[in-house]
Amino acid sequence: MSYWKRLPGTRTSSAGICGICTASPALTEAEESEDGGSTLTFEVSGRLAAVCLYPFPVPHGEAEENAAHNYLWPEAAESAARHRGQLLVTVLPREESVREAAILQVKLVCAACRQRGALGVYANGTVYQLEFYLNAAQPMEDGAAPAGSGVDGPLPPGRGPVRLH
């Protein structure tokens, strides 16, 4: 799971997210929730993607606490404390490749990173600076798996999970 921190009054658009897909995404569902959040689900090359907007901070100060442990970004906790909402981005591979689903998830998070009001990416128990996350994802341009994407994928039964980096 990856979170996008945002300030009040900022929005993301499905056009911006769909613009990074290599295949034409099929919009599956867009719905509003009682708490003011919204979810956009769509399919891309057999994978199900969901982008969920939550118009409230990560509960219990979790993002701020974990941001304080990022020694590469001294201002991480201060930045995380300013967040007022979050995007949850996930991709289910279904019968497709876990690697390709992970790459699509990272591309969707990168699209969110480029939106006005984005503050950081909360994944793997820390909050990453936008530039750090975007730079770590850059190898995808060359067809390599993104460094530090931290997406868990299943192995054949009985062999446990594997972390894709």
Q: Which pLDDT band holds residue 124 (cuts at 50, 70, 90)? A: confident
List the structure tokens of 111: 């699209």
Residues 6+ apart with CB under 8 A from 110: 20, 133, 134, 137
H-helix or E-strand spanning residue 131: helix 130-137
Tell me the mean pLDDT in the region 129-143: 86
Q: Whose CA is closest to 35, among 88, 104, 85? A: 85
Pairing, β 2-6 against β 85-92: antiparallel
* 42 compared with 149, residue with greater pLDDT: 42
Q: Which pLDDT band holds residue 150 (cuts at 50, 70, 90)? A: low
- pLDDT per residue as tens digits for the range 4-63: 443 333 333 333 343 333 333 444 555 666 777 789 999 999 999 999 999 999 999 999
Longest alpha-carbon distance in the chain: 47
What are the Cα distances from residue 76, in Å, to 81, 97, 135? 9, 33, 17
Strands, sheet with 26-32, edge to edge from the N-terminal-most edge strand: 26-32, 38-44, 47-54, 85-92, 2-6, 121-123, 126-128
**The model scores a pTM over 0.75:** no
